Amino acid sequence: MAVIQQRGRRIMMTEAERDAYLTQQRTCRVATVSVDGRPHIGALWFVWDGTSLWLYSITRSLRSSQLRHDPRIAVVVDDGAEYGELRGVELSGEAVFVGETPRTGEACPELTGPERLFAEKYFGMDVMPHDGRHAWLRLTPKAITSWDFRKLADLA
């Protein structure tokens, strides 16, 4: 068992690798839990600011409804086609709604950075467009796990 754990630490991303990876990736899978305990998983765009993962979710979605009842959330960002290419990050904690719901663009200093990052990354714009259907969720993770199987070649 110790060999697996040791290998796990060796294929873990460094903080710099993790930050670069989360900055470049575009899609994550978000897991939430219903009132009766059923899990729900859906894909979503996100931005990473180095501390928190910011999700822009439709306010009338099952995800948003579940998070209002139970803020626990787990998010996976991963890629790779072949076993030796697999890499990813899992983040978990509690989601917090930030700004007005739905977001219409009212002044909210906490959203200045995430909205700039999101607008640049997904729309190629300087300013975030608001459609009155989405709200911001912030996940400041309590736990982060990462892996980069490309590092396995170095362990052989």
Predicted TM-score (pTM) of this structure = 0.91
Tokens standing for 2?
């110790």
Is-cis flag, bond preceding 141, omega within 30? no
Per residue in 90-103, pLDDT tens?
999 999 999 999 99
At 117, which CATH number? 2.30.110.10
Per-residue model confidence (pLDDT) at position 3: 33
Residue 37, domain extent: 2-155
Mean per-residue pLDDT for 77-97? Answer: 96
Q: How many domains are there within the chain?
A: 1
Alpha-carbon torsion (33, 36, 37, 41), positive or negative? negative
